[in-house]
Amino acid sequence: MTDTARGDLAVEARGLVKHFTTGKSVTKAVDGIDLLIPEGTVFGVLGPNGAGKTTAVRMLATLLRPDAGTARVLGHDVVHDADKVRSVVGLTGQYASVDEDLTGTENLVMLARLYGFLGGTARGRSAELLEAFGLGDAGDRQVKTYSGGMRRRIDLAASLVMSPRVIFLDEPTTGLDPRSRNQVWDIVRVLVADGATVLLTTQYLEEADQLADRIAVIDHGKVIAEGTATELKRSVGEGAVHVRLADATQRGRAAEVVGALLGTEITLANDPYALTARVPDDGAADVARILPALGDEGIVVPEFTLGQPSLDEVFLALTGQPMEDDETIEEVA
Amino acid sequence: MAVDPTITAAELRAPEANALRAAVALEQRPSRPSPVSATFTYTWRALLKIKHVPEQLFDVTVSPVIFTLMFTYLFGGALAGDVQSYLQFLLPGILVQAVLFTTIYTGYTMNTDISKGVFDRFRSLPVWRPAPIVGALLGDTVRYTIASVVTLALGLVLGFRPPGGVVGVVLGIVLLLVFAFALSWVFTALGLVLRSPNAVMGTSMLVLMPLTFASNIFVDPSTMPVVLQRFVDVNPVTHLVTAVRGLMAGEPATEGIVWVLVASVVLTAVLAPITMRLYRNRS
């Protein structure tokens, strides 16, 4: 990524580091991350649990002081100008939540007052947001009675009370059903159409693909790849073919046939009947030839699937290792 | 994970894009609220929580009633010869105990807010930093007042007749509330340091049990072993009880009252900055 002029960057983080010490062990939650996010774009931070996504967002949102490195949001330093950063940033995530005991209206009125709306205008702002987020009928109910999707919408509304120009969404759709997830995606699209800059963390390649202009893949506190969704996918190919055989002894021969057609590496799964192959760019026509070719060899294929590359496959392609799921780091964070 | 095509856009009840766009595009951003206004907003929240979760008042109201009845009738005769004269001695003390135990909830509530992520939302707002804590403490003062009123009302029913009259009783309670507000900072600090609401509860009990029992709340310390008397003499709760008793008895001891006020100022001056430091640096 080429450097943009400073004025055009909504977020500019360089060399961010955060280590947590628990007893004698040190966890490098964030270990030198650079993020340059142009204004008006959606930037996706993609990584498994414990990769350091939440820690990075918390540092950018002034909730956590970096051990090293600098970060600016709309030109304001997150350490020295923390209050200025707070007045331009909206935050939604596992760690920035509304009060479950209060009603939706009470939560939004409280936040509106804290942003400086007075009496009646605070109520008006709350009503306007509830209506816009499809919660008009639920305003008088305690938030703990909300469904998962409503809960996420009230969290989003809470972070938009003051129309922030920069919005951090920390795993906004984790745990949501597809319907609620699509609603959140629609909201994000509206925000961006309106000129806001969105930093979105996610575990799902599809989500980053749907929403983000650029994506940084992070693992163990480091950015291991950055680019557009297309560029990232190119690194893993168009997807993967999963083949399951009727006879395990034919796997070697099947791997040769598939490998010859696609020209990519074959992964032999632990399951002795299965193999997986990356599909190269423009490899769709070759995929179509796999089944007849296997048939010609007398290989019976009861199962054949073609899938979009998953985050797992992106990780495998980028790191040569399967994705590790290390929950402990983000719990400490 | 394609969307089920049978679900129509209307059924999705997706936020209507235009309303959303209008709500997001704010013409005028208000200027930031004053520290006082921000603090009172958090106080308002604390009161809303009492309204929505009235169960939290159960402890505040029931335990003083049980303690008063138990000590008055179980030990009153044995300790003071007759129940009525013991009640005159006990009631100001048990009032102090009831309110001090209520201060634990300040730390408990704060820790619950942290574990639920509510505090991170507060910390991400551009408001006067101490506002969430000071506001919560002011809201808790309402709880302390409720505990005081319940205990006092029960005492009056049982036959407590303070010679200090209404003025003496009110001044005694005000002094108690001032000290309770100052003491709450201990529990806000604990609430920020400890990992779970239950740990806050347990640790706070461990602090308050010796402070309230090894004091002059229940008995005259002159019958205690010398070592214990020394502790009772330096125990701030003893000074507080003596001052409150004096006010309610219509014999205010200036020295004791000044001692309590100075202790309150010192507690706040030392612990408020520590609490704020913990709040700022909490990861």
Residues B225-262 have pLDDT tens digits of 999 999 999 899 999 999 999 999 999 888 889 999 99
Surface of A (157-176) touching B: CB under 8 A: 158, 160, 162-163
In whole angstroms, give the CA distance from residue A86 to residue B272.
23
Q: Do A96 and B283 touch (CB under 8 A)?
A: no
Q: How many CB pairs under 8 A join A and B?
A: 144
Nearest to B12 among A116, A133, A179 (CB): A179
For residue B37, list chain A residues with Cβ-Cβ distance below 8 A: 113
Among chain B, residues having any CB pair with chain A shorter than 8 Å are 1, 3-4, 7, 12-17, 19-26, 29-33, 37-38, 41, 44-45, 48-49, 52-53, 113, 116-118, 120-121, 123-127, 281, 283
Find chain B residues with C-beta within 8 A of A190's C-beta. 15, 17, 20-21, 24
- Is residue B7 within 8 A of residue A179, CB to CB? The reply is yes
- Average confidence score pLDDT of chain A: 86
Q: Which stretch of DSSP H or E encloses residue A311?
A: helix A311-319
In this predicted structure, what is the pLDDT of residue B54? 87
How confident is the model over B276-282, as a mean pLDDT?
84
DSSP states along chain B:
-PPPTTS-HHHHTPPPHHHHHHHHS-S-PPPPPPHHHHHHHHHHHHHHHHHH-TTHHHHHHHHHHHHHHHIIIIIHHHHHSSHHHHHHHHHHHHHHHHHHHHTHHHHHHHHHHHHTTHHHHHHTS-S-TTHHHHHHHHHHHHHHHHHHHHHHHHHHHHT---TTHHHHHHHHHHHHHHHHHHHHHHHHHHHHHSSSHHHHHHHHHHHHHHHHHSSSSSS-GGGS-HHHHHHHHH-HHHHHHHHHHHHHTT---HHHHHHHHHHHHHHHHHHHHHHHHHHHH--
Question: For the residues B180-197, what does the mean pLDDT come to?
Answer: 91
pLDDT at A308: 67
Residue A24 in contact with partner chain B when CB distance is under 8 A: no
Contact flag B283-A333 (C-beta cutoff 8 Å) = yes
Does A147 contact B at CB distance below 8 Å?
Answer: no
Neighbours of B9 (CB within 10 A): 8
A191–B23 C-beta distance less than 8 A? no
Question: Looking at beta carbons, which residues of chain A come within 8 Å of B128?
Answer: none
Instruction: Give me the pLDDT at residue A265, please.
Output: 79
pLDDT for res B95: 93
Whether B223 shows a pLDDT value over 90: the answer reads no
Partner-chain contact B1 A153, CB within 8 Å: no
Distance from CA of B53 to the nearest CA of A (A): 7
More confident residue, B39 or A228: B39
Write the CA distances from A161 to A5, A110, A170, A294, B140, integer angstroms. 30, 10, 17, 59, 27
- Six token digits for residue B275: 């609490």
Give the residue from A190, A203, A205, A329 with the most B CB atoms within 10 Å of its CB, the best one to mutate.
A190
Residue A226 pLDDT > 60, yes or no?
A: yes
The least confident of A315-319, B98-102, B108-112, B188-192 is A315-319
Closest-CA distance, B14 to chain A, in angstroms, reads 5
Q: Does A281 touch chain B (CB under 8 A)?
A: no
Q: What is the pTM of this model?
A: 0.81
Asked which of A66-75, A148-157, B33-42, B56-65 is least confident by mean pLDDT, the reply is B56-65
Which residues of chain A neighbour B117 with C-beta distances below 8 Å? 93-97
In this predicted complex, what is the ipTM?
0.84
**A303 in B contact zone (CB under 8 Å):** no
In chain B, what residues touch A40 (CB-CB under 8 Å)?
Answer: none
Per-residue pLDDT, B29: 80
DSSP A184-225: HHHHHHHHHHTT-EEEEEES-HHHHHHH-SEEEEEETTEEEE
Residue-level pLDDT at A323: 62
SS3 state of residue A288:
helix
Mean pLDDT on A231-244: 76
Is the CB of residue A282 less than 8 Å away from at least one CB of chain B?
Answer: no
Q: How does pLDDT run across A77-136, given as a tens digit for each residue?
A: 999 999 999 999 999 987 678 999 999 999 999 999 999 998 889 999 999 999 999 999
What's residue B12's pLDDT?
Answer: 44
A231 confidence band (pLDDT: 50, 70, 90): confident
**With contact defined as beta carbons under 8 Å apart, do A42 and A200 qualify?**
yes
**pLDDT at residue A311, rounded to an integer:** 62
Q: Which among B12, B19, B121 has a CA at the least distance from the CA of A133? A: B19
pLDDT tops 80 at residue B274:
yes
Amino acid at B180: A
